[in-house]
Structure 1
Amino acid sequence: MAKPDSAIEILDSLISQFPDYARGYQELGYCYLQRDKAKAAHGFYQATRFNPALLSAWRQLEAIYKEDDQQQALTLCQQQIEFLLSLPKPILGATDLMHDGQLHKAEQVCRQFLTTNKHHPEAMMLLAEIGMQCKVYSDAEFLLESCFTLYPDNDRAAAAYQSLLSKLGKFPDAVEVAKRRLKQSPDNFTVKVGLAHAFVGVGNLDEAIDIYSALLLENPDRPAVWVALGHALKAKGDTSKAISAYEKATEFAEDFGDAYWSLANTKTYQFSDAWLSLMKEQLSKASTKLDDCIHLCFALGKGLEDKGDADGAFHYYHKGNDLKKRTLQFDIARTETALNAQKTAFTEESFSKKEGCQSPDPIFIVGLPRAGSTLLEQILASHSMVDGTMELHDILGIASSLSNQNTPYPLNVGSLGAEALKLLGERYIKQTRPYRQSAPFFIDKMPNNFIHIGLIKKILPNAKIIDARRAPMDCCFSGFKQLFGDGQEFSYSLTDIGRYYNAYLSLMDHWHTVLPGDILTVQHEDVLDDLEGQVKRILDFCGLPFESACLDFYKTKRVIKTPSAEQVRQPIYQTGRAQWKPFEAHLEALKSIVGGTD
C-alpha cells in the first residue's frame, strides 16, 4: 500500500540535506499530484529548475498549466518540451546525467555520440558545459569556439561561447561575439542584454547603462536588468542611482534575492525594519527559489549585523553558507593538495631572471578575498604611472591551458623551454592590453593569483607582486559573510576557510623562500595605522616616485567592480577592524584552526 505521507517526510528530509536534488522535487510532485495541485506544481517546477532535462516533470507541468489556463507558463513549458524532444536520445540522456551530477558518465555518453556524429552542435555544447563544470575551461573554450565557427547562425552556440568568454575574463572577445549576435538579431532582448553585460566586462559602462536603460524604458518589469543596471552604476561610482535600481528590482519581484543582496553588498546600505521583515517573509515562502533564498540569507545577515544583532545575523550567515555549500562539490583537502603541488613544482633553482618576457609592466596584487586588495589597487591606480584594471583572469587562463598536457600543471612548468616561457609572457601582455590606458605600468588584482606566483615569475620575471594580507579572524570571517558571484568555494564553511587561510600562509612562506625579495607583503592593519608610511613603502617596492594622489586615493574616479567599491571611495577608516568580535561565541571552530584572537 502506498504511503505518500511517509514518502513526503522522507523526501523533505532528503531535500533539506540536498536542496538542489532535482529528482527529489520530482518525486514530491508525484506524491502531491492527487492531493495538492499547487504543491505538486511547485515540486515539478523546482525539479525542472535544477535539472531542465527532466522531460516527465515538464509534461506534468504542461498538464497543470493547461488545466489552470496559465498561458505564458504553458508556452514556455511547451517550448522546452519541444527542445528536449528534438535532441538525440543519447544527448538527452547525457544532459540528464550532467544535471544529476554524474559528469563522468555524461562525458562518456557525449563523446561516444560524437564519434559517429562529428560536430553535432548540441553534443559539442553539452560536452563544453560538462568541461566547464569539471573546470577544464580550455577544452570548453575550444569546443564552443569551434561550434560558433561551424554554426554561425546558431545563437545558442554563440550565447554559450560569449558566456564562457566572460567567465574567463576575455571580455573584449565577448564584446565581439555579442556584436555579431546583435547584427543577426538586432531586436532580440536577450542579445541586447548580453552585449550590455559584455560592455560592463570591458569597462564601457556608459554604453552598457544606455542599453539597460533603453530596455527598461520599453518594459520596466525586468528585475534582473534593474540589478544589472545597478551593478554598472555601482562600478561607475554612482551608488545612489545603483541603490535606486536595486530597489526598483524588488518592486517587480519581491522574492528576487539578488536585488536584496546587491543592496547589502554596497556595504553602506542600511535596511529598515520593514525591509528586514519583508526579506524574512520571502525567505519563509515555499515558492522562493533556492538561489533567492541564499541571497536573502546573506542580505539578512548584513542587515541584522548593521542593527547590532550578532546572533540573529550569524543565524542567517550560517544558513546562507550552509545552503550554498550543499550545492557545491568542494573538497578542501584537494585544494590543500593542489597548493602543496606548487611547492613541489617550484624551487629556488627553478627561476631565472633571464628567461620569460622581460616586460616590467604588470603589478600583481594577490592574497585572499576581503583582505584589502581593492584598497591597495585604488592607492596604486591613483598614481600617474599606473593603470588600474580589474580582476584579470589571464594568468588563470594560462595555467588552465597548461593543465591539459601529459604532465599536469604545475609540475610541467619546469619542462617549458625559454622560448615557450617568453611566448606565454608575451601572450599575457597582449591579452591584457585592452584593459590598459597609457600608463607604463598596470595592476592585475586577481587575488587567486597567489597560487600561481611561480608561473608568473617564470613567464614575467620582472613583474612586481604585492601580497595583500589581513589578520586571520577578520579576513576569514569577512569572507564567510560574503556571497561571491563565482568561485571562492572554500568560503562557505568556517572550517574550510580556516584551512584555506593556513594553506595560503604556507604557500606564501614558500614563495618568499624561493623568490627572496620579489614579493612585498602589505598588512591591511598597517595601512590603516600608517597610510603614508605604507604608501611610500609600496611605491618604493614598485620603483615609483611618491605622489600625494596615492594618499587621496578615494578621490580617484575609475571603474571598480569588487564588493569593496564603495568603501575605497572613502578615506581610511577603522570600523572594519575586529568585526568578528561580536560573533566570537559562534567562531570557536575558526579560532581553533587559524589560532590567536586577532
Structure 2
Amino acid sequence: MVNSSSSIEVQFKNIQQLIQSAKFNEAIEQAKQSLRQTDEQAHQVQLRYLVAVAQRYAKKFSSALASLDELLVLDHKHSRAYQEKGYNYLALQQADKAQQAFEQAVKLNPCLVASWQELIEIYRKQAQPKLIQQAANQLEKLKQLPPALLAVTEFMHEGKFVKAEQVCRHFLQQNKHHIEGMCLLAEIGIELKVYADAEFLLSSAIELAPKHIHARSLYLNLLIRLGKFKKAEQQVEILLTAQPDNHSFKVAKASVLTGLGKTEQAINIFTQVIADNDQIAGYHLQLGHALKAKGDLAEAIKAYQRAYQIQANYGDAFWSLANTKTYHFRDDEIALMQQQIDNEQASLTDKVQLHFAMGKAYEDRKQYDQAFHAYQQGNQLQSSHNKFDISKIEQQVDEQIHHCTAELFEQRGHLGLDVPDPIFIVGLPRAGSTLLEQILASHSQVDGTMELHNILGLAARLRGRNKQENLYPKNLADIDGSYFKRFGQQFIDDTRVYREHAPLFIDKMPNNFLHIGLIRLILPNAKIIDARRSPMACCFSGYKQLFAEGQDFSYSLEDIGRYYNAYMKLMAHWQSVLPGFVLTVNHEDVVDDLEGQVRRMLDFCRLEFEPSCLEFHKTKRNIKTPSSEQVRQPIYKSATAQWQYFEQHLSPLKKVLNIN
C-alpha cells in the first residue's frame, strides 16, 4: 500500500505527463497499478479520473464511461467526472446523454468553462435560444474573471477552501482593491467560519464600490447570519432602492424584520412574495419561521408542509417540523423522508436534517433504537462536515482561567459602564435557558430579546485579526482602561433595537459563559444567570438537536461530554474569582419548585415578585429558539429523564462525564 502522500503525488504527475505525451495506454496501466497500491478514497478518486481521461484520449469510450461510473460510486458529486462523461457521450454521438452529463457538471460546479461551451453548442443544435442565452451569460461572466480567481471559484466548488484561500490571498496582494477577489475571499471566510474577516472584507468592498450589488448582497446575508439585524436593515433598504422588484431582497428584508421582532410586517412581505411565486420552497420555509416566532404554530406547520410538498428532498422543511417539538410525523411523511435519505442526489445538508427529523419521528413513536440510529447518522454526517476540534474549546477555557484572575477584577473591575440593564442567561444549549428567559420576560420590568451575538463579536475583535496572535483574554490586563466603558456603552447602544420599553433586558446567548470575565469588566452591574441541567439530560438533549449555527461540539457524544466538563470547570472558576456575580439555576429545581426558583431569580435581579412570572406560558412574545413551543405551555416533567430511554447507547458520554 502507498502510505506517503508525496509518493502518490509523484505518481499523479507521472501519469499526467504520460497523458500529455499521448502515451495513453502507458498512463492507463500506471494509474491502474497505483490503484492497487492505495486504499485512500481521495487517491482512488483521482486515479480513476486519470484512467478515464486517458481512456477517452485512447478512444476507449465505453471503458472510460465504466471508469467514471466507478469513480462516481466513491464521489457522486465529482463535477469533472460528469464533464468527462459528456465528452464520451458526444464521441459516441449520444447527444441527449451528453447534455444531461454536462448539465449535471455545471450544476455541481458552475465554473466549468468547457461544459458551458459544449452546452451552448448542444442548445444551438436544438434551437433553444433561452438556454443558449443563459449558458452564454454564465460563460461570459466566467471569462471576465482573472484566471487566478476562476481557479479560486473552482477550488471552492470542489470544497478545497484552504487552497482557494491561499490563491485568493496571493491574488489580492497583487490587486489590493479587486472587488470580486474581496468577495470571493469573504465567501471563503464564511465557509471557514472566520466571520470577522469576512465582515471586514465586505464592508470594505461596499465602501470602495457602493453600487456593487453582489458585494452588498453578500454583506447583507452575512449580517443576517450574525444576527446583526439593524445593520442588515440598512443594507437591504439600499438594495431594494436599487432593485425594488427583486424577490430575494424582499425575502431578506422579511428575514431581517423577523430578527428584529417585527413578525407581522415580515409575514406580510413573505405572503406578498409567495403570491407572486408560490413554487419556491424556501419562501414557505421562512414564512413558517416567522409564524412560529409569532406563536401561530398551526399556520407555521402548514407553511413547512407546503415547502416539502414543493421540494421533496428539502431536509430543512422536515427538520423545521420536527423542531417545533410538538409535531408528530405521519406514516407517509416518514416514508417520504426515508426515500429522500436514500436519494443519492440529496445534499449532505438535506440528509443531515432528514436524519434528525427521522430521529424525532421514531422517538415520538417510542422506537428508541431506531431513533438513536437516526440521530447518530445525522450527527456523524454533520461532524464529518464541520471538522470541529474540542481541544480548542478546552484551551480557551484554560486561557480564561489563567488570565481572568481575582487580581484582574480587583484592578480593573470598576472601569466598565455602570448600568443594570442586561441580564445574561448562559450555559449549555438545551439546559432550560429559554424557560428561564420566558419566566423573566413575563415580568413587567424585563424585555426578552434573543441570542445576541454582541459579546461573542467583541471577544472576536479583542482576539485579533490574526488567529496566531491569540491576544484575548490576555490583553484584558493591558488595554487602555477607558475602553471598558466604551465597550459597555456600545453593547447597550447596539442591543437597544431588540428591546421595547422595560428598564431591563435579557441576552440569552448560551456561549457567553466563556466570556463572563469580559462581561464583568465592561458591565459590572449586569446580572448573569447560569442555566444548568443534569449532565446526561443536558448533553443528550444537545446531541439530538440540530443547531442552526455555532454549537459544533454537539455532534459527538465524546465532544459534548468534554464540552460539559470544560463548562463546569470554567463556571467553578467564575464563582471563585467573582463570588456572587453569577446565579446558578438548576432546571430540575425549577421543575420541582417553580415559585421558589422564580422568587430566587427575581431577588437576584432586584425585582419585585409578579404572579405573571409563574404563568409564563401565557406571555405573548416572539421566541426564536427550538424550545419556543415548549415554553408556551405550562411546565412539564416528562423530559427530565428522556435520556434514560437511550441509555444503552450512551456509554461514550457516560465515560467522559465519569458517570457509572
TM-score range, shorter chain: over 0.9
**Pairwise CA distance, 1:335:** 2.2
1:478 partner letter? S
**Pairwise CA distance, 1:70:** 8.8
State yes or no: 1:335 paired with 2:389. no
**Pairwise CA distance, 1:540:** 1.0
- Name the residue aligned to 2:343: 285
Alignment of 1:478-517 (within 5 A): 478-517=541-580
1:145 partner letter? S
Conserved 8 A contact 1:29-1:42: no
State yes or no: 1:370 paired with 2:424. no
Conserved 8 A contact 1:324-1:492: yes
RMSD of equivalent CA atoms: 2.6
- Name the residue aligned to 1:223: 281
Q: Structure 1 residues 375 and 58, CA, compared in 2 at 3 Å: closer, same or farther?
A: farther
The alignment partner of 1:579 has SS state of helix
Conserved 8 A contact 1:28-1:40: no
**Pairwise CA distance, 1:30:** 3.3
Conserved 8 A contact 2:368-2:645: yes
**Pairwise CA distance, 1:210:** 0.5
Alignment of 1:532-571 (within 5 A): 532-571=595-634
TM-score after normalising by structure 1: 0.92
Q: Structure 1 residues 408 and 34, CA, compared in 2 at 3 Å: closer, same or farther?
A: same
160-169 or 565-574, which deviates more: 160-169
- Name the residue aligned to 1:27: 81
State yes or no: 1:389 paired with 2:452. no
**Pairwise CA distance, 1:470:** 1.1
Conserved 8 A contact 1:107-1:127: yes
**Pairwise CA distance, 1:287:** 2.5
- Name the residue aligned to 1:19: none
256-265 or 581-590, which deviates more: 581-590
277-286 or 397-406, which deviates more: 397-406
d(CA) in 1 for partners of 2:163, 2:346: 32
Conserved 8 A contact 2:414-2:521: no
**Pairwise CA distance, 1:171:** 0.3
Conserved 8 A contact 2:86-2:102: no
Conserved 8 A contact 1:30-1:40: no
309-318 or 228-237, which deviates more: 309-318
Alignment of 1:398-417 (within 5 A): 398-404=458-464, 408-417=471-480
114-123 or 320-329, which deviates more: 114-123
1:128 partner letter? A
Conserved 8 A contact 1:260-1:295: yes
Q: Structure 1 residues 150 and 344, CA, compared in 2 at 3 Å: closer, same or farther?
A: same
**Pairwise CA distance, 1:81:** 3.4
**Pairwise CA distance, 1:170:** 1.2
State yes or no: 1:449 paired with 2:512. yes
The alignment partner of 2:451 has SS state of coil
Q: Structure 1 residues 362 and 63, CA, compared in 2 at 3 Å: closer, same or farther?
A: farther
d(CA) in 1 for partners of 2:594, 2:73: 54
Q: Structure 1 residues 82 and 303, CA, compared in 2 at 3 Å: closer, same or farther?
A: farther
TM-score after normalising by structure 2: 0.84
- Cα deviation 1:379-409 (Å, max 9, x = unaligned): 0000111111111010011111112165522
1:322 partner letter? Q
- Name the residue aligned to 1:326: 384
The alignment partner of 2:505 has SS state of strand
- Cα deviation 1:262-298 (Å, max 9, x = unaligned): 1111000011111111111122122222222221111
Q: Structure 1 residues 145 and 292, CA, compared in 2 at 3 Å: closer, same or farther?
A: same
Alignment of 1:432-471 (within 5 A): 432-471=495-534
Instruction: Select the structure with the greater relative contact order (CA < 8 A; seq sep ≥ 6).
Output: 1
The alignment partner of 1:388 has SS state of strand
117-126 or 375-384, which deviates more: 117-126
d(CA) in 2 for partners of 1:433, 1:259: 32
2:153 partner letter? T
Conserved 8 A contact 2:82-2:105: no
**Pairwise CA distance, 1:309:** 0.8
State yes or no: 1:260 paired with 2:332. no
Structure 2 runs not aligned, ≥5 long: 1-27, 29-54, 56-62
Alignment of 1:64-143 (within 5 A): 78-143=136-201
Q: Structure 1 residues 63 and 196, CA, compared in 2 at 3 Å: closer, same or farther?
A: farther
State yes or no: 1:379 paired with 2:439. yes
**Pairwise CA distance, 1:66:** 7.5
State yes or no: 1:238 paired with 2:292. no
**Pairwise CA distance, 1:195:** 1.0
d(CA) in 2 for partners of 1:303, 1:70: 46
d(CA) in 2 for partners of 1:38, 1:492: 43
Conserved 8 A contact 1:147-1:157: yes
- Name the residue aligned to 1:575: 638
Conserved 8 A contact 1:26-1:43: no
1:400 partner letter? A
151-160 or 97-106, which deviates more: 97-106
Q: Structure 1 residues 316 and 332, CA, compared in 2 at 3 Å: closer, same or farther?
A: same
The alignment partner of 2:506 has SS state of strand
- What percentage of aligned pairs have identical amino acids? 51
- Cα deviation 1:555-578 (Å, max 9, x = unaligned): 110110000000000000012111
- Cα deviation 1:302-360 (Å, max 9, x = unaligned): 11110111111112111111111222121112222122221122111111441111111
State yes or no: 1:162 paired with 2:223. no
Of 582, 597, 601, the residue aligned with 1:519 is 582
Of 186, 203, 206, the residue aligned with 1:145 is 203
Structure 1 runs not aligned, ≥5 long: 16-21
Q: Structure 1 residues 286 and 130, CA, compared in 2 at 3 Å: closer, same or farther?
A: closer
d(CA) in 2 for partners of 1:59, 1:295: 36
**Pairwise CA distance, 1:57:** 5.7
d(CA) in 2 for partners of 1:39, 1:474: 53
**Pairwise CA distance, 1:52:** 4.6
The alignment partner of 1:277 has SS state of helix
The alignment partner of 1:327 has SS state of helix
